[in-house]
Amino acid sequence: MSSSPPRYSKTKYILGSFLIHWILNVWYLFVRNKEIKVPAESQKFIDQGRGYIIAGFHEATLSLYRHATAYLQDRKGAKLVALVSQSKDGEIICQTFARNNLASIRGSSSRGGIAAFKSILKETRNGAVPIFTVDGPRGPRHVIKPGVIATASLTQFPILYLHSHYDRYIRFNSWDRHFFPKFGARLHVWYGEPFFVPKGLEEKGLEEYAILLQKKMKELASQMEEMIHSAYPDNSIDTA
């Protein structure tokens, strides 16, 4: 499943994805799922296995991937499809996702956006649950792009936004400040209430609702991280 595939050899990315998949599977044997906190209204949509959209920040791509495949896909039966950029980095992400049967559509706000958007709408009609890292692929950090809002407006599916974090992690010096769990870390996942978007929004309306969603997602992320830092004060936070 791909829209306008990139013009470079995929062989090394396929091989690299197998290595990454193996490393992650071994490492995550020692990462514990501590908490999944879901409001009742959001849980109703998750339990039905379709008819909703997942939204998270780019910094949590790894933890979102692990949670989505283990919980939404394997336990709740969702047919997931992730929007992945057409960059070379996106290729290895796409191939790694495929190792866990997570389908990808290639495109972003800067490359292949229109074709990817059409592909996502087609997949939702076939029962898929799309996953957006809403400030990706290049940022700015925590600034939501309008694609997730446009998808919600056209499909009339609620956006189930979430934040995921570890009690112990290494944070990297990348634009998104991505983090990786330390050995034996605990994973926390919090969802917000369903976020509904009116039908037929135009450009100004898309921007307004993107700002509203952005505010809610940042508040959820701040609340979770404050809780973790308070609950686990002896666990150091490293910056790489």
Question: Does 5 fall in a domain?
Answer: no
Which CATH number do you get for residue 24? 3.40.1130
Q: Which domain holds residue 55?
A: 11-239
Question: Does 6 fall in a domain?
Answer: no
- How many domains does the chain fold into? 1
Question: Does 160 fall in a domain?
Answer: yes
Question: Does 150 fall in a domain?
Answer: yes
Question: Does 158 fall in a domain?
Answer: yes
**What pLDDT digit, counting tens, does each position of 100-113 carry?**
788 888 876 556 56
Quick one: pLDDT at residue 9?
Answer: 58
Quick one: pLDDT at residue 111?
Answer: 61
Question: Does 213 fall in a domain?
Answer: yes
Extract the residue ranges of the chain whose pLDDT is less than 70: 1-10, 13, 88-89, 108-113, 234-240
Question: Does 2 fall in a domain?
Answer: no
Quick one: pLDDT at residue 235?
Answer: 64
Quick one: pLDDT at residue 232?
Answer: 84
Question: Does 182 fall in a domain?
Answer: yes
Secondary structure (H, E, C), 9-61: CCHHHHHHHHHHHHHHHHHHHHCEEEEEECCHHHHHHHHHCCCCEEEECHHHH
Quick one: pLDDT at residue 113?
Answer: 67
Quick one: pLDDT at residue 4?
Answer: 47
Quick one: pLDDT at residue 109?
Answer: 58
Q: What is the pTM of this model?
A: 0.89
Quick one: pLDDT at residue 73?
Answer: 95
